[in-house]
Structure 1
Amino acid sequence: MTERKTPTQAAAGWYLFLRDYPDDEDMKHRFAEWLASDPAHARAWEDMNVTASVMAGVPRILHMPARTSATPVLHMNAYRVARRFLPGCALALAAACAALAFMPPDMLVRLSADHYAPVAQTRDIRLADGSEIILAPRAAVSLTINGSERGVRLLQGEALFDVRHDPTRPFRVTAGHVTATDVGTVFDVRMDGDATTVAVREGEVHVASARSGIIERNLHAGEWERVSGTTATAGTAPAATIGAWRDGTLIARDQTVAALITALRPWTAAKIVLTDSELAKKRVTGTYDLRQPEASLRLIVEAYGGQVSSLSSWIDIVRAR
């Protein structure tokens, strides 16, 4: 049985679809049909726009599809917003907070991101200077590009950066408390909770932490640095394996089952629940196909006495046999 979405949940979903695929005419048509099919949909869509505007910190109203005879027009001007959410910002903020309970987990990040890669998809971003950013699934970035600087903030997930060096405009990537500055290179940045890992595939990167004394040094090809809280850990890896995920390959080198499951999660819409702490600690070395996350999950855990039980198409339970 398929779970029925509330109008608020559906509006949040449409917001993301239209944001990610703004040129999809078929999707716009289906959205217009959904919007016109129930007055509750129109109210939920109006509330979704208000929520997005409040949370983004600036007025931001999505453009509606071309009007049809069945499509209501939502004039989201300041007067109507104020009237609906009197006495002002306090109630608008309350409405935004209430709507958060029905939003997908990534909604907060996606509202503040300039670019986002959906589940199980990578996304290439080509900048005007010739640099390229490849986002791993569920990764999000915000950009600050102008005449004097090139700045990227990694909001979540993992991204590979192929930078065209320009000494007059440093290319800086900030993730948590860590900043990686290009010295002419290809490098990977990954966020796992409060930990940030920078790994260099080609060239050289300067890595520094905003927390004094933790780390400030240059990394070269094949070197990586992981900063978690007030601790920094360094290591090396074959340079060619860094960023291998962009080709759909997961390379494990003495990593825990728990770490590999974390790496698989962005590549599947199913929620993976690991219930066995001993299985989680098992060390794994091998190569797995990220494009086949279900098969890879089973290969990883079954080799160590685990099993995967699918409660539905959306939940995989991993436990010991």
Structure 2
Amino acid sequence: MWGVPTCGGQAKASGAIDLGAYNLDGMIKYVQKAEQLGIEGLLMGVGYHTPDPLAIVGQLLANSKHIKLMVAYRAGAISPTLFTQMINTLSFQGQDRLALNLLAGISPAEQKYYGDFLGHDQRYARLNEFIDVCRQFWANKGPVDYQGEHYQIEQGQLSLAYQGGGHPDLFLSGNSDVSRQTAIDHNCTWLRYSDTAENIAKSAAPALAQGIGVGIRMSVIVRPTRQEALDEIDRMMSGADLEWKGFLDKYVKSCDSVAVKSTFELAEKAKNDWLNDVLWTGAIPFRGGPALALVGSPDEVAEYIMEYKKAGVSTFLFSGWPQLQEMEYFAELVIPKVRQLEQQLALATA
């Protein structure tokens, strides 16, 4: 899977993000190109700096044919009843092509923009209740009664069920133990920011032991040769916007997210911006948690993806700079290599 840029995607990893930029026609073309490239799914992020993904996804579904669209949503802004009704309505535009990336929120300061003053663990407790209510509506077994700390529902009814029955694929984001446990409790794929394959294996083990899928979100920089990939890093980091870096650093200090803080700690501890031969941290101070990048030749990138797969990762959510160009490189150079390695592994273990 890949992310959907709201304005075409930044050309380099070290410049300021154009906050609030929005180009719907460009997003539609991006989704259609991703379909042509064989990308399985796309994520629409959430935050004060982006357009609302729920308001966009219907247009993207209507202008695509088979690609899955994942909507990020932070519980708390609207009731779970209304949210379920909105998702059920959207499901009729895209049949079984919707997925949800559920979050508790990463910044108390940003949450307050929306009138939300709960702390980290309280937000997860609310998210837990939110999913409970949504699942009861999706089960469609009659009126929903719910008495929780954050939500009280009395004889809740929705005439419009999710298209085809069931519910969208559910992903729950976070790097914390409580996020992983919430994913386990609700049978959601646990989606976290990346790390080395060894560390991912350790953190994923409790989820995998319970039969829960594990996904990672990160960036990728691949070129026909390793030197070309390194040259691309030099190009992207030239003329770095230090004022933007200072702005992001201040924002991160306001966060209580384990995912955000742990990724920035990786960057601080990395030796010359590298965790190993293929994991580069240099863009993290400018782009945040998803910017830990898998860098190298097609063989190097594909082989390390297989290391992640051995660690139990089943979902990969990538981004790059510029987004469309990097996605094209990945589809052309890496996906065939990964498929070949998967076939070799299957034959070896048959």
Structure 2 length normalisation: TM-score? Answer: 0.26
Larger radius of gyration: 1
Greater helix percent: which structure? Answer: 2
Which of 1 and 2 has higher RCO (CA within 8 Å, sep 6+)? 2
Greater strand percent: which structure? Answer: 1
